[in-house]
Amino acid sequence: MDNAPHITQERSAPPATIVIFGASGDLTRRKLLPAVESLARHGRLPREFALVGVARTAMDDDTFGSSSLGGRNLADKPQLAGGIRYVSGGYDSPETYKQLAEVLDGLDETRGTAGNRIFYLSTPAEAFEPVINGLAAAGLNHAREGSFARLVIEKPYGKNLATARELDEVVHAAFDERQVFRIDHYLGKDTVQNVIALRFANSIFQPIWDRSWVDHVQITVAETLGVGTRGGFYESAGAMRDIVQNHVLQVLALSLMEPPASFDAEGLRNEKAKLLQAIRLPTDRDIADLAVRGQYTRGGTRDDLMAGYRDEPGVDPLSRTETYAAMRLNVDNWRWAGVPFYVRTGKRLPSRVTEVALQFQRPPHLPIPTNQLTELEADALILRIQPNEGISLRFGAKVPGHTFRVRTASMDFSYDKTFTEESPEAYERLLLDAMLGDPTLFIRSDEVEQCWRIVDPIIEHWTNDPSPIPTYEAASWGPTDADRLIGRSGRRWRNGA
């Protein structure tokens, strides 16, 4: 295997068919099909390519082709023209998989897809098991000699550690782990991958990336939107399952892991798994001190008054589901022992921002008089994942003038201003990786288990806690308990600016 397949500049997929289960769903329409079209537009798909949609909704090939690609003219995209099929049927019906097998065999003959198949599960989680069992019963989980069959699974991967292990048993009864690609679209973002580039392609940062220099780290995933029409789903998920268990912990692992020996898939994923294993597991007696939840209420301005969570469609009027979660984590290893890591995520916050901020320790002695330090903050390195993607280095600088005054300044790197290359969408990158068989940016089974081991005790504690859930007004930065969480050590949250 190429030691660095995921950083090769020019890559094109081999002959293959992508089969999307849940083809009539929202994720397929908004993300997956535009990703396929973009891959075709940029010449990443071969002519020997086909796309098959599977769903309960009745539809024919032409309707799926025109609706899925927005009615666009496919004449200039030979990778797609004539290669789109649709299979209508129940996920638990053997007839569905019999028909699918016939369609796939036909495409091998007419499109030259060589028996290579990607089965993408874009269905609700309860359909994962019947789809996997249906594929196995039809023999579609095994590829013929020289071909491949791969399974791509969307989150949520279980609702807790026990159900994640149960799902793994179902998956591994039909597919080998090397065939399984658990997707977290955050890992497909160029700016998340830039965390790796920043750390391991620059010698200047490596000596200060540890407990000797870093005072604390903050990871923020803030959204301005509420749950919208996803109230029914969100009631069974909450912020901890929806964002922290996957996105936040994956970004944390990439930011804090040890340098891998090589940039192949297993080298990178081994180090992520080691970092997750080193996170100190919360116990029931200390959860109140290290984890905070909240739920947004009506808020905003007179001209833009936003509904509270309990007023959203599909939400229980007495709901105790958290729309905000914050934690303090400790990593028990040589590099990070004693450094607190603060993570938070929430809906209906004032700004949309995802970032990793390393705040450095202050100088041991400042010879400058206090009255000459104007608004001087601690040095910090901020990795902006979205929006305004880039990196900021915050430091102290002299203010121009006749007096010697020092205040905070920053140097900024912006993706948009520095590079002319177009950044691919996350799903575009990950679909191509799955077709190439590169699992680097996908999540291994042991990583999933470690993430659940971290959040499960907190979710269980909150579930059994009879006290009212703390609230925060929409368009505020969360419950006051979150400020106390970080404030106990004399620190404060960044405002996301």
The pLDDT score that the predictor gives to residue 417 is 85
Alpha-carbon distance of 296 to 283, in angstroms, equals: 27
Residue 390 has pLDDT above 60, yes or no: yes
Please state, as a whole number, how many other Cβ atoms lie within 10 Å of the Cβ of residue 203. Answer: 7
Give CA–CA dist 365/323, Å, rounded. 42
pLDDT tens-digit map of 114-151 = 999 999 999 999 999 999 999 999 999 999 899 999 99
Catalytic pick among 185, 216, 247, 461: 247
In Å, how far from its chain's centre is CA 156?
11
Cα separation, 100 vs 18, whole angstroms: 12
DSSP H helices, 178-294, are 190-200, 231-235, 238-239, 249-256, 265-278, 287-290
Tokens of 449: 């288990």
| Residue whose pair of structure tokens reads 């198949």 in the numeric block | 117
How sure is the predictor about 95, in pLDDT bands with cuts at 50, 70 and 90?
very high
Close Cβ partners of 147 (under 8 Å, ≥ 6 residues apart): 114, 115, 116, 117
CB 268 within 8 A of CB 443: no
Instruction: Tell me the pLDDT tens digit for each residue of 319-333.
Output: 999 999 999 999 999
Counting residues of the chain whose pLDDT is more than 70, the rounded percentage is: 93
User: What pLDDT, on the 0 to 100 scale, is given for residue 290?
Assistant: 94
Phi then psi for residue 112, to 5 deg, are: 70, 35
Confidence of residue 163 (pLDDT cuts 50, 70, 90): very high
User: What pLDDT shows up at residue 146?
Assistant: 92
CATH numbers and ranges of domains, the chain? 5-154 (3.40.50.720), 187-425+438-487 (3.30.360.10)
Pairwise pLDDT comparison (393 vs 397), residue with the higher score: 393
Q: Mean pLDDT lowest for which of 32-36, 193-197, 307-311?
A: 193-197
Q: Are 192 and 251 in contact (CB under 8 A)?
A: yes
Name the DSSP letter for residue 247.
I
Phi and psi for 167 in degrees, rounded to 5?
-65, -40
- CA atoms in the 13 A half-sphere facing the CB of 188: 22
Structure tokens at 234: 């969100």
Buried (b) or exposed (e) across 386-404, using 16+ Cβ within 10 A? eeebbbbebbbeeeeeeee
- pLDDT category of residue 497 using cuts at 50, 70 and 90: very low
Which two three-digit tokens encode residue 461? Answer: 């504690």
Extract the tokens encoding 484.
């106390």
How far does Cα 267 stand from its chain's mean position?
Answer: 20
Greatest mean pLDDT among 246-255, 368-377, 384-393, 409-418 lies in 246-255
Cβ atoms 438, 13 nearer than 8 A? no
Confidence label for 365 from pLDDT (cuts 50, 70 and 90): low
Looking at residues 240-251, what average pLDDT do you find? 94
- The set of residues, in sequence order, having a beta carbon less than 8 Å from that of 369 and lying 6+ positions away, is none
> Whole-angstrom Cα distance, residue 10 to residue 294?
45
* DSSP run (H or E) holding 33: helix 33-41
247 is catalytic: yes
Which tokens in the block code for residue 327? 């934690």
Q: Is residue 156's pLDDT more than 60?
A: yes
Mean pLDDT of 16-20: 97
Average pLDDT (235-251) is 94
**DSSP character string of 128-184:** HHHHHHHHHHTTTTSPPTT--EEEEEPSP--SSHHHHHHHHHHHHHHS-GGGEEE--
For residue 368, the model assigns a pLDDT of 64
Q: What is the structure's pLDDT at 342?
A: 97
Determine if the pTM surpasses 0.85: yes
Task: Determine the pLDDT at residue 363.
Answer: 75
Q: What is the mean pLDDT of the chain?
A: 89
Assign 25 a pLDDT band (cuts: 50, 70, 90): confident
- pLDDT of 7 reads 43
Average pLDDT value for residue range 279-293 = 91
Summarised one tens digit per residue, pLDDT across range 56-82 is 988 888 888 776 665 555 545 667 878
Say which residue the tokens 């089974």 belong to. Answer: 445
Block residue for tokens 């303090």: 328
User: 278-281, long-range: CB within 8 Å, 24+ apart, which pairs?
Assistant: 278/331, 278/332, 278/333, 278/336, 279/329, 279/330, 279/331, 279/332, 279/450, 279/454, 280/329, 280/330, 280/331, 280/332, 281/453, 281/454, 281/457
Cα–Cα distance measured from residue 168 to residue 448, given in angstroms and rounded to the nearest whole number: 10
d(CA 251, CA 188): 11
As a whole number, mean pLDDT of residues 290-317 equals 91
Pick 11 or 364 by higher pLDDT: 11
Looking at per-residue pLDDT, the higher value among 453 and 376 belongs to 453
